[in-house]
Chains A and B, each alone.
Chain A
């Protein structure tokens, strides 16, 4: 009640005494949650035991909202009494296993606060967290993504250690770059001999895939979290996707811009190419705050390369005329950096900077001098003119740093300006006492160098300067004078050092490297406070380095709960009785799919799952709405078809999205009666509502060009609890594009779509070995795709191989003489093109997969699917 702002002072003693048995056991979940929130907010050590009890109780509450509150209470108790850590970890472990989106964010937050080192607690929940992520509230998303970044760094191998065929071609394949695939395949084959090829752990892929949509979040923190995850975890080729989203954030509030630009600055050093297309988005407006201008300048400098440097320099010219002098100074520095990095423009930059020396503003001149000094050091011989020009400046310029720079330059290159140097020293000796300390030091330096090279003209001047310095107020200067006198002026006492004085003073000095202050900042996790401050903040968790050997991936496998094995009918009844636990069904999806090794196939094919949304109606109807299940890749039931091995069921309409109507489909792999060019899709519709559903039909199919849909006959009525199975035909035109249509009842329309895995677009054909070889001979060259595979232990038997291939694609086995070869043949359903598959086993685990088909896209995708199937 306090939480809700009501005056609860009269309730307070009662709360403390009786809270455990009264409010916390209130039938209303909101009251239970509020009671726990109030209890846990009392920072009095006496109530620690009561609090612990209440948290434990709440952690197993029926209501996810109460469980969420329990998760929130954990850090509060921990800060009150850190001795409770062990008990709290138990609670966290329990809550981590929770399957609702509401709890996920809060419990990970508690985990991060209490026991971030217990990474082992995450294993079993990893896949679930990945799948729930998109539906978690935004703040929870940030915490989970940051935690998973650390987790992934400890569990997976670096995707950039060697180029991987599978990953790189995953995206390319769709654009039909078969040539490259072939090239990659060769390169791969070459490296195969040397080391084990890198295959991305499917769980690693799962994380990357499930976080990507969040780049479009409206919440800048979420976008940044995903961006850093991609930067730290994704293969090089895929990191680019984050640039667009980060550039979008630049339109946001200036504080957001500030933080984002800091991170972009770090990223742009390592991955310059990623931001190059957005170069112009970093152009500076005169109205930008100075701190933003300077960061943008940093990014522009990092992005500069041979091709864009002229545009960037033209832009810099505009900036130099700005009224904001700090910004002008930074621009001059930036020009200096561009000049050092890109040799081509060094002279242009130098000339530009020399022109600035006649600028009216002293700060600008001073900054230019400092930068010119650094540039000249790279090639002094050619620029004695500039050095002379700068020598003249000593009369006017007053900024100490600039004066010191000029003096150093003249001293260092006194041989190039033999006439001017002694004169400068003469002038400086005159004004010595009025100079700043850094200038005095450089005067001494200049004197020493001149003494060594041209002692005839400068001996007396040097003596004079050293004498002045001897009585200077600053002890640094006095020390320096004493030291130099001993070194350069030969006396009886002076030892061997004297001989080497010239070598000491006029040694070749390496040119300074002008580099970004953001270099190497990426050892801090991007987006973190520590990265921003460039120092380790309190409580910062180091981002671990990739392991050399991947830890056992099986730790993430989750056992399939007992009940998934019972028929779906029974399960549904159970759910109706216990609405609160309905969410537990969600678990079966991702885990099962991962276990059965079909993860990638199903996710690509259909497993987009029911969208997070669309549960609205449910919510308004019942006072305590059931919880939205996590994404399901596939339905729990696995029908065994006698002929072709496992047939997977996919979900078309989830029970909740469909207001109680649930629809699943599978590819029955039987010819569709009436039209041989159609793929038969078996659809199973169950009515879980308590009302009759009438006139179920397909309407308004919106097929893409050429695609045809043969609807199933309208179902007049479907009684509550009944299930009906119908077959519809779809001509996919040999493409994996989804068929979209509406499923209508007498009250509602549902948008649904069926996307076929490539393996379902074909039907088996039976042929003899000779026929096979003859057809294969016709489909060589471009139509042939070869791929190396490594067969895992359990997939080396004949039976296992055949089963995996036939489950991945609807193909028929072709008899074969050799016993280390397996052949399969099929025809695509629409055009009837042949698809031939050959799998040749080599010694050990190695094998070679060849697919011949004139439909190259189908061939490529099929190879990928089969490799996936075999890899498990």
Chain B
């Protein structure tokens, strides 16, 4: 046959134990056996993260993503930009998350009808159709306890009764006729510090990745503008489609008609050219003795440049070398666990008080006879600082046009560790 079949042909959802628990075909049915190629690649890859996202098989191409312990494997027959499919699959997972609160096998199995309805609307003949959460919610109502009780009694479904006019709108991200008694707009400025700290404690690489997540519950069609005290800080920004690009270009103001509900307004990067303040320091002493099947482990975490705010929610995870059998440690604060199978040491520190620095110290037991590990493990640190945006970004004001009521507005800042790694 001379015609081609483009875009996404079928989708399989596979759990970690290798069961195909859901399949959906937009065109003709493709046999499950196509997944064998995927399982083969999965076996070769050892761990889940190393399964190649694109696999070529004799008649198909498999493009997959791994999200929340589920593989989303899509079947493609012809040339298509791989990112197109990957981005779409992530959008599917996001939608499940949005609808069911979590994107897990149980949640999907419990809501299998809605899942099929969603997939049917999101792709038409393999091409993405409606992927905006606001439109989908107009078409298919998210499940609530009350609604599922009513549905099981009356036999009706979750399909919306009104016609989905949102699809026709110029602003497909916002549904029409929104009404709230309390009008609220909240913005969370969340910044994550990505850093690599070398052995001696100096910064090899650091940058700040930020997002502004919004929760907007405003009636009607509000037109918002959000301005910053110091917009020049933002080095690279990506926008939700609702943002007027030209206004940002000319005035550095975020002007938009927001979607209803939760969404990510912008993500931005503050580049490493600006010096990034690293809020914690780590003192470490990890050594393995030659021929004695033991080693020493001593780590202290302390605060630094934290602008008077407390560093909290500190957790340290370390992938110890394979030769490590067990660890006998004492923590002056918090608790630690060591998993002898995965060799992962986790130390839940909690809050750092500068008066008494948390320390974890003790003996590492190595496999007897095995050579001493050459490498020292790197320490992955997580932490949180409330009420602080480490880049110094500040929201100046939020104005609303187009509606008459006075909304309640709120901005919250938080700084977290992103990919924060200390090499030892």
Identity of the chain A residue whose Cβ is nearest the Cβ of B89 in the assembled complex = A255
Q: Is the beta-carbon distance between B77 and A216 smaller than 8 angstroms?
A: no
The CA of A756 and the CA of B147, in the complex, are separated in Å by 58
Identity of the chain A residue whose Cβ is nearest the Cβ of B196 in the assembled complex = A283
User: Which A residues are in CB contact (< 8 Å) with B66?
Assistant: 254-255
Q: Is the beta-carbon distance between B84 and A142 smaller than 8 angstroms?
A: yes
| Interface residue? A799 (CB, 8 A) | no
CB distance from A524 to the nearest CB of B (A): 10
User: Which A residues are in CB contact (< 8 Å) with B56?
Assistant: 533, 535
Which residue of A134, A259, A619, A753 contacts B83 across the interface (Cβ within 8 Å)?
Answer: A259
**Interface set, chain B 1-34, CB cutoff 8 A to A:** 1-6, 27-28
User: Which A residues are in CB contact (< 8 Å) with B239?
Assistant: 216-218
Instruction: Please tell me which stretch of B293-301, B352-360, B370-378, B405-413 contacts chain A, meaning at least 4 of its Cβ atoms lie within 8 angstroms of it.
Output: B370-378
The tally of residues in A whose CB lies under 8 Å from a CB in B reads: 103
Q: Is the beta-carbon distance between A619 and B49 smaller than 8 angstroms?
A: no
Q: Is the beta-carbon distance between B6 and A113 smaller than 8 angstroms?
A: yes
Identity of the chain B residue whose Cβ is nearest the Cβ of A106 in the assembled complex = B127
CB distance from A619 to the nearest CB of B (A): 5
In this complex, the member of B53, B66, B76, B176 whose beta carbon has the largest number of chain A beta carbons within 10 angstroms is B53
Q: Is the beta-carbon distance between B125 and A529 smaller than 8 angstroms?
A: no
| Interface residue? B128 (CB, 8 A) | yes
Q: Take A245-B236, A529-B61, A748-B401 as given contacts and tell me if A224 and B374 are in contact as well, using a CB distance cutoff of 8 Å.
A: no
| Interface residue? A616 (CB, 8 A) | yes
User: Which A residues are in CB contact (< 8 Å) with B241?
Assistant: 138, 217-218
Which residue of B79, B257, B423 contacts A529 across the interface (Cβ within 8 Å)?
Answer: B79
Q: Is the beta-carbon distance between B139 and A4 smaller than 8 angstroms?
A: yes
The CA of A456 and the CA of B401, in the complex, are separated in Å by 98
**Interface set, chain A 25-81, CB cutoff 8 A to B:** 28-31, 37, 40-41, 43, 63, 65, 72, 75-76, 78-79
CB distance from B259 to the nearest CB of A (A): 11
User: Which B residues are in CB contact (< 8 Å) with A533?
Assistant: 54, 56, 61
Instruction: Please tell me which stretch of A316-324, A552-560, A705-713, A840-848 contacts chain B, meaning at least 4 of its Cβ atoms lie within 8 angstroms of it.
Output: A316-324
The CA of A225 and the CA of B80, in the complex, are separated in Å by 11
CB distance from B415 to the nearest CB of A (A): 16
Q: Is the beta-carbon distance between A532 and B82 smaller than 8 angstroms?
A: yes
Q: Is the beta-carbon distance between A256 and B87 smaller than 8 angstroms?
A: yes
Instruction: Please tell me which stretch of A153-161, A537-545, A682-690 contacts chain B, meaning at least 4 of its Cβ atoms lie within 8 angstroms of it.
Output: A537-545
Interface string of A493-535 (1 = CB under 8 A from B): 0000000000000000000000000000000000111101101
CB distance from A297 to the nearest CB of B (A): 15
Q: Is the beta-carbon distance between B120 and A5 smaller than 8 angstroms?
A: yes
User: Which A residues are in CB contact (< 8 Å) with B256?
Assistant: 613
User: Which B residues are in CB contact (< 8 Å) with A255?
Assistant: 53, 64-66, 86, 90
Which residue of A65, A75, A244, A318 contacts B125 across the interface (Cβ within 8 Å)?
Answer: A75
Tell me the total A-B contact number using a CB cutoff of 8 A.
263
| Interface residue? A794 (CB, 8 A) | no
Interface string of A607-624 (1 = CB under 8 A from B): 010011111111110011
| Interface residue? A82 (CB, 8 A) | yes
| Interface residue? A749 (CB, 8 A) | yes
The CA of A618 and the CA of B269, in the complex, are separated in Å by 35
User: Which B residues are in CB contact (< 8 Å) with A82?
Assistant: 1-3
Which residue of A41, A218, A753 contacts B267 across the interface (Cβ within 8 Å)?
Answer: A218
Q: Take A218-B239, A620-B221 as given contacts and tell me if A256 and B247 are in contact as well, using a CB distance cutoff of 8 Å.
A: no
| Interface residue? A627 (CB, 8 A) | yes
| Interface residue? B153 (CB, 8 A) | no
CB distance from B158 to the nearest CB of A (A): 8
Q: Is the beta-carbon distance between B163 and A539 smaller than 8 angstroms?
A: no
**Interface set, chain B 114-152, CB cutoff 8 A to A:** 116-117, 120-121, 124-125, 127-129, 131, 139-140
CB distance from A677 to the nearest CB of B (A): 24
Identity of the chain A residue whose Cβ is nearest the Cβ of B46 in the assembled complex = A290
The CA of A15 and the CA of B242, in the complex, are separated in Å by 38
| Interface residue? A146 (CB, 8 A) | yes
Identity of the chain A residue whose Cβ is nearest the Cβ of B267 in the assembled complex = A218
Identity of the chain B residue whose Cβ is nearest the Cβ of A63 in the assembled complex = B168
CB distance from B30 to the nearest CB of A (A): 14
Identity of the chain B residue whose Cβ is nearest the Cβ of A359 in the assembled complex = B374
CB distance from B267 to the nearest CB of A (A): 7
Q: Take A72-B124, A529-B76 as given contacts and tell me if A620 and B177 are in contact as well, using a CB distance cutoff of 8 Å.
A: yes
User: Which A residues are in CB contact (< 8 Å) with B247?
Assistant: 611, 751
Q: Is the beta-carbon distance between A253 and B125 smaller than 8 angstroms?
A: no
Q: Is the beta-carbon distance between B237 and A112 smaller than 8 angstroms?
A: no
Interface string of B147-179 (1 = CB under 8 A from A): 000000000011100011101111110101100
User: Which A residues are in CB contact (< 8 Å) with B2?
Assistant: 82
User: Which B residues are in CB contact (< 8 Å) with A360?
Assistant: 371, 374
Interface string of A89-112 (1 = CB under 8 A from B): 000000000000000001001001
The CA of A360 and the CA of B91, in the complex, are separated in Å by 46
| Interface residue? A213 (CB, 8 A) | yes
User: Which B residues are in CB contact (< 8 Å) with A43?
Assistant: 28
Which residue of B196, B209, B236, B240 contacts A218 across the interface (Cβ within 8 Å)?
Answer: B240
CB distance from A639 to the nearest CB of B (A): 26
Chain B residues with CB under 8 Å of chain A are 1-6, 27-28, 47, 49-50, 52-54, 56, 61, 64-67, 76-84, 86-88, 90, 113, 116-117, 120-121, 124-125, 127-129, 131, 139-140, 157-159, 163-165, 167-172, 174, 176-177, 194, 196, 198, 204-205, 207, 209, 220-221, 223, 235-247, 249-251, 255-257, 264, 267, 269, 272, 319, 321-322, 371, 373-378, 380, 401-402, 419, 421, 423
7 A–B contact pairs at CB < 8 A? A248-B267, A280-B272, A285-B378, A529-B61, A535-B56, A613-B256, A616-B221
Chain A residues with CB under 8 Å of chain B are 3-6, 28-31, 37, 40-41, 43, 63, 65, 72, 75-76, 78-79, 82, 106, 109, 112-113, 134, 137-139, 142, 146, 213, 216-221, 223-225, 244-245, 247-248, 251, 253-256, 258-260, 280-281, 283, 285-287, 289-291, 315, 318, 321-323, 359-361, 527-530, 532-533, 535, 537-541, 608, 611-620, 623-625, 627-628, 738, 740, 748-749, 751, 753
Listed from nearest, the 10 A-B pairs whose CB atoms lie closest are: A539-B78, A289-B49, A255-B53, A5-B117, A540-B79, A139-B128, A616-B257, A616-B221, A321-B375, A221-B83
